Amino acid sequence: MRCCTHARADATDPYVAIENIIGWDALTREIAEARHLVRPDPLDPVALSRENAPILREIGPAFVTAFTFGAVPACAPLARAVETLRNLADGRHKLPAAVPFGFVRPSWRQRIDRAGLDRRIFTFCVLAELRDRLRAGDMWVEGSRRYRAVEHQLIPKPVFAAMREAGPLPIPVADTAAAWLAERKALLARRLVEIEAKAATDALEDVRITEGRLRISPLRAITPDEAEDALALLYARLPPIRITDLLADVNRWTGFADCFTHLTTGRAHDDPRATLTAVLADATNLGHTRMAEACGLVTQRQLGWLSAWHLREDSYGAALARLVEAQHRLPLATLFGDGTASSSDGQHFPLDRRAQATGAVNPHKGSEPAVSFYTHVSDRYAPFHSTVISAGASEAAHVLDGLLHHGADLSIERHHTDGGGVSDHVFALCHLLGFRFAPRIPNIGNRRLHLFTDMRPGPTIAPLAAQPIDERLISDHWDDVIRLAVSIRTGVTSASLMLERLGSYPRANGLALALREIGRVERTLFTLDWIELPEERRRATRELNKGEAQNALKRAIFFHRTGRIRDHGLQAQGHRASALNLVASAIVLWNTTYLEAAMRHLERQGRSIPPNLLQHLSPLGWQHINLTGDYLWTDPGIPEGKLRPLRNAITAPDNP
């Protein structure tokens, strides 16, 4: 790779560059070692088909007979194989002479050729490939909602044409590919000149581009040493409180318990404490049986009834939106952020033995089956959306769902993720939908830039460039790209579903490839900003740290059963995630309210905390909150519009 980069930069013969830089003997040894290290396909179709022969014989033909499948032209061989398998449902045991074989993945063909093709092997290969093509959308099930054709999941073309004619479309991009390409070309050309000029004069802060390699120094800590002691004075004034009383306080301020209405009557429960107890049973992972024993207010049966009739995803969403909006309106919250940025990250929760069959193992996060609660957090520390995903699933597919469907009155313009949320498709859709995607990309120095074909970067940037942008691909599929973005914006389809399917497509799919090319343009522009602007790097780190601190608070709340989830169903797991998010948001709102009161109290005493220290304040502390023990509800007798008395602390306690 380095040889080709040098040859391209210097416009020399690549073979000469190989000889000068690495040498042919060394290159041959490297290739041989790479071939030795390549891991073969771990699945053996012959062995698996023999081990599962009874299941394949009974299930295979019956499965394909039960459904009607459609396919794109590229999957015609597989469609013929499915039809062949369907014909075996009448009891025949032998395959026909002209059995379709072209759909079998290349890594399996040699093994099957050596073993000989029989019905068991053929059935296994058909079902395995059919599964992958259904996930990708290359094949679909007629009448299915989840496995529909991608074309059927978008706005119908006549409707889209009428929307376009009426205009404007609800996305902030040019209507034509030519206009979009011209604007992005001009911007990218200007940014290349600016970065090249700064690199030539060594004016890029903490950035070095030498020998075709980009190196960015780690960020230096900018939190003053005295900030921790100064801010601990505020937490020392916060009154100690049970989590039940904290929820009762927040409910008196916002009435968020009223959002948990009955499924059929639409009325809130007569006793909001009972509803909040059911929420706490999920949020703390205590469960209905043990919560009934610990609170004495409701029975296990009553908690089950409340959970079934009052606790739903829409009611959780409405209650969370009310808390987020209340916290964002507080004056102190404006010191945390301007309210236009957010971040998202997944938090790993292992599954209890009884539920492990429903989970997946992510080797990067542990060796046990688990699920992940993927949460969006605003720059003011308010968690405004959460969803449950498989521990082995891509986080990138779920980035946009939280930004589009949170329900709160937020104006998010900028979003940050870590490496798990990064993909070129996410860059593209964020741009098309009007969000600034600013992730912290791991090993960004190893990522290549993608420029337009007619661009000639300077000697510093040229070695960082890779495959040029395919403008024709974008132009040919621009209408489909815009229709996809409008379909997601208007809620016709979800971003997560489309990203999962487009990410699984074969390379021949034009829409997926065009979206990737747009994402490469946006990722290149973002990378240039990342190189030039240290504040870009600091801001991403700062916002992601807020999400990580939020995870620590949630670990403290979700402590029963050592944080293991026992629920089998996705809906029950979703209730756990939503309840945990809601209680964390209530703590953030309560802490922000009382920290502001403590700050005003210190100001009246002439002990104001400097603004440069207040910007490091976080409302995520829980040292003063009793999260365990008996979950009792008390009446503090606080007058309307008043707060609990602050502590007259002399020394500050340790604060997490």
Enumerate the domain spans of the chain.
Answer: 2-37, 45-148, 184-222+323-551
* d(C-alpha 332, C-alpha 524), whole Å: 37
pLDDT at res. 114: 58
Structure tokens at 257: 């318990």
pLDDT at res. 10: 54
Question: How many angstroms separate the most distant Cα atoms in the chain?
Answer: 93
* d(C-alpha 387, C-alpha 400), whole Å: 12
* d(C-alpha 602, C-alpha 488), whole Å: 49
The label of the residue with tokens 């490839």 reads 513
Instruction: Report residue 41's pLDDT band, with 50, 70 and 90 as the boundaries.
Output: low
pLDDT digits (tens, 9 = 90+) for 606-648: 988 888 888 889 999 999 999 988 899 988 788 888 999 999 8
* d(C-alpha 33, C-alpha 29), whole Å: 6
Q: Where are the alpha helices (DSSP H) in 504-643?
A: 510-532, 534-557, 570-604, 611-614
Q: Any idea which of 168-177, 205-214, 396-405, 502-511 has the lowest mean pLDDT?
A: 502-511
Structure tokens at 356: 């492990």
pLDDT at res. 443: 86
Q: Which residues pair with 386 in a beta bridge?
A: 375
Helix (H, G, I), strand (E, B) or coil at 173: coil
Average pLDDT score over residue span 214-218: 88
Q: What is the mean pLDDT of the chain?
A: 88
Q: Bigger pLDDT: 629 or 650?
A: 629
Q: Bigger pLDDT: 1 or 314?
A: 314
Structure tokens at 515: 């979206």
Element (H, E) at 214: strand 213-216
429 pLDDT more than 70: yes
581 pLDDT more than 80: yes
Structure tokens at 182: 């011209």
Average pLDDT score over residue span 456-469: 91
Average pLDDT score over residue span 170-175: 94
Q: Any idea which of 67-71, 270-274, 355-359, 517-521 has the lowest mean pLDDT?
A: 355-359
What string of DSSP letters covers 30-57?
HHHHHHHHSPPPS--HHHHHHHTHHHHH
Average pLDDT score over residue span 4-20: 60
Q: Find the helix packing angle between 300-309 and 288-295, rounded to 10°.
A: 120
The label of the residue with tokens 């429960």 reads 269
Instruction: Report residue 653's pLDDT band, with 50, 70 and 90 as the boundaries.
Output: very low
Q: What share of the chain is helix, strand, coil (3-state, %, to 5)?
A: 55, 10, 35
Q: Any idea which of 25-29, 454-458, 461-465 has the lowest mean pLDDT?
A: 25-29
pLDDT at res. 8: 53
What string of DSSP letters covers 307-352?
HHHT--HHHHHHHHHHHHHHHHTSGGGGGT--SSEEEEEEEEEEBP
Average pLDDT score over residue span 50-59: 82
Average pLDDT score over residue span 445-463: 91
Report whether 553 contacts 584 (CB < 8 A): yes
What string of DSSP letters covers 393-442?
S-GGGGHHHHHHS--S-----EEE--GGG--HHHHHHHHHTT-EE----T
* d(C-alpha 151, C-alpha 157), whole Å: 9
Sequence-distant (≥ 6) Cβ neighbours of residue 77 within 8 angstroms: 100, 102, 103
Share of the chain above pLDDT 70, in %: 92
pLDDT at res. 17: 67
Sequence-distant (≥ 6) Cβ neighbours of residue 519 within 8 angstroms: 423, 424, 425, 426, 427, 428, 429, 431
pLDDT at res. 398: 95
184 pLDDT more than 90: yes
Q: One-letter amino acid identity for 282?
A: D
Sequence-distant (≥ 6) Cβ neighbours of residue 179 within 8 angstroms: none
Report whether 395 contacts 605 (CB < 8 A): no
203 pLDDT more than 60: yes
Q: Where are the alpha helices (DSSP H) in 12-148?
A: 14-21, 24-37, 45-51, 53-66, 76-87, 106-115, 119-136
Classify residue 635 as exposed, middle or buried by CB count within 10 Å of its CB (0-12, 13-18, 19+). Answer: exposed
Q: Any idea which of 90-104, 127-141, 148-162, 418-432 has the lowest mean pLDDT?
A: 90-104
72 pLDDT more than 90: no
pLDDT at res. 652: 42
Average pLDDT score over residue span 497-510: 75
Instruction: Report residue 213's pLDDT band, with 50, 70 and 90 as the boundaries.
Output: confident
pLDDT digits (tens, 9 = 90+) for 278-304: 999 999 999 999 999 999 899 999 999
460 pLDDT more than 60: yes
How many Cβ atoms from other residues are within 10 Å of residue 251's Cβ? 19
Average pLDDT score over residue span 518-523: 97
* d(C-alpha 558, C-alpha 281), whole Å: 10
486 pLDDT more than 80: yes
Residues 564-590 as b/e (b if ≥16 CB within 10 A, e otherwise) read bbebbeeeebbbbbbbbbbbbbbbbbb
